[in-house]
Amino acid sequence: MAVEEAILALRDHWDDVVSRLGPASSQALRDLLEELGGPDHRRAVTAIADLLVEELPPDHSVRRALAQGYLFAPTVADWSALKVSLHALAWPLPDADPGTGGSILADVMARLLRAPALTDDEVQQRGADPADPGLIRLDRPGGGGQWPEFQFTADGGPLPVVRAVNQLLQAASDPVGAADWWLSRNAWLDDQPSFLIGVVPDDYLVRAARAVGAEV
């Protein structure tokens, strides 16, 4: 079974899944479903699977289907039809707050900005270029930027594997998405990717990043 096919199980378990996810994760799921079948389809599939594997209990039918699937195995799912069938279930939100989407993004940004990071001066002291498009730069609310520390060796410059993955994740144009990939649990790596640097072969990280659909 393809992981993509496992997502079809949402059609039969929608109410139960939403009740277990809570408002913020449910909204995130709704937003990702809108991307199925579009240009960001593969990234959406990966993000949906990550969200459901992390949030649902191990014995849940949808989570079990995802765990048994193979990432991007051939599938003939009609994503347009799936979205139509789920639309009546998923939209509109019963008690939606118009600012929910912005609140979710703010929560994600706050979490990412709490991760250990370097300042502009500290990046330069490491012998790196703060403007390097292969590095993730996050904007601080009060101005200025910070560079997540996991991107660098303990006492030196950027890690080659991080720069390679960041390019796959298009960190120059989507630094928040790239940082979230590194700093969130990944269903197929079964851990947070930033924790696995130097622990698993670099190629594992590159292949996992490639799976989200970024250009090689």
How would you write the pLDDT of the chain (216 residues) with one tens digit per residue?
A: 456 666 666 766 777 787 777 777 777 887 887 777 777 777 887 888 888 888 888 777 777 777 665 444 444 455 555 555 555 455 443 343 444 444 556 777 888 888 899 999 999 998 899 999 999 999 988 788 999 999 998 878 899 999 999 999 889 888 888 898 898 887 778 788 999 999 999 999 998 888 775 433
What per-residue confidence (pLDDT) applies to 191?
A: 83
End-to-end CA distance of the chain: 26
Give which of 74, 104, 110, 102 is closest to 183, Cα–Cα. 110
CB 40 within 8 A of CB 120: no
What per-residue confidence (pLDDT) applies to 85?
A: 55
What per-residue confidence (pLDDT) applies to 94?
A: 38
What per-residue confidence (pLDDT) applies to 134?
A: 93
Token pair of 4 as six digits: 């993509």
Angle at 192 between CA 186 and CA 195, to 5 degrees: 150
Burial (CB < 10 A; 0-12, 13-18, 19+), residue 118, is buried
Burial (CB < 10 A; 0-12, 13-18, 19+), residue 33, is buried
Sheet bearing 138-139, strands edge to edge: 117-118, 145-148, 138-139
What per-residue confidence (pLDDT) applies to 6?
A: 64
